[in-house]
């Protein structure tokens, strides 16, 4: 029981969790606003505005910096981790989403041509993020950590 108590009272950990949670709620609300329907997958799914990956790691890095100082080992690890995650979200994962969209369009063309394919075989297109989504997630994470440490 001490572990759970310690975890919940760990401000660095809780800042990261709050960064993820708030970003997922915002992402779901924004998606619902633009598409006029609630999609439960958006509550836990990747991709979309703002980037919950960026929000999580930036909240973690900001909280580590505020807790241990900018020159600390903890901040250095968290900051490098944040940079890698955000770079990956805009690079490889974004390209994966673009490729999934193209492949899904090809599958639809094959289905229209009479080929036996299932609509359930569609690939997930919400995978990566645009630079703006990553930036908004990063700013959200920094803000959340700063508010938690105020």
- Residue 91: its H or E element: none
User: How many H-runs (helices) and E-runs (strands) does the chain carry?
Assistant: 6, 0
Q: Are 89 and 134 in contact (CB under 8 A)?
A: yes
pLDDT tens by residue, 43-60: 887 778 899 999 999 999
Cα(85)–Cα(76) distance, integer angstroms: 14
Residue 65 has pLDDT above 90, yes or no: yes
Query: Predicted confidence band at 72 (pLDDT cuts at 50, 70, 90)?
Result: very high
For the entire predicted model, the pTM comes to: 0.78
pLDDT tens by residue, 74-127: 999 999 999 999 988 877 666 776 777 777 777 777 777 776 666 556 656 566
């Amino acid at each position: 029981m001490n572990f759970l108590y310690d975890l919940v009272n760990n401000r660095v950990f809780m800042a990261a969790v709050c960064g993820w949670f708030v970003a997922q709620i915002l992402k779901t609300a924004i998606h619902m606003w633009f598409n006029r329907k609630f999609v439960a997958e958006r509550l836990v799914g990747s991709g979309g505005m703002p980037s919950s990956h960026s929000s999580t790691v930036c909240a973690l890095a900001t909280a580590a910096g505020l807790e241990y100082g900018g020159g600390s080992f903890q901040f250095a690890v968290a900051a490098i981790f944040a940079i890698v995650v955000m770079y990956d979200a805009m690079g490889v994962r974004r390209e994966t989403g673009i490729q999934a969209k193209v492949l899904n369009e090809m599958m639809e063309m094959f289905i229209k041509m009479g080929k036996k394919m299932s609509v359930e075989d569609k690939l997930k297109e919400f995978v990566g993020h645009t630079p703006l989504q990553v930036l908004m997630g990063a700013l959200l994470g920094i803000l959340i950590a700063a508010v938690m440490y105020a």
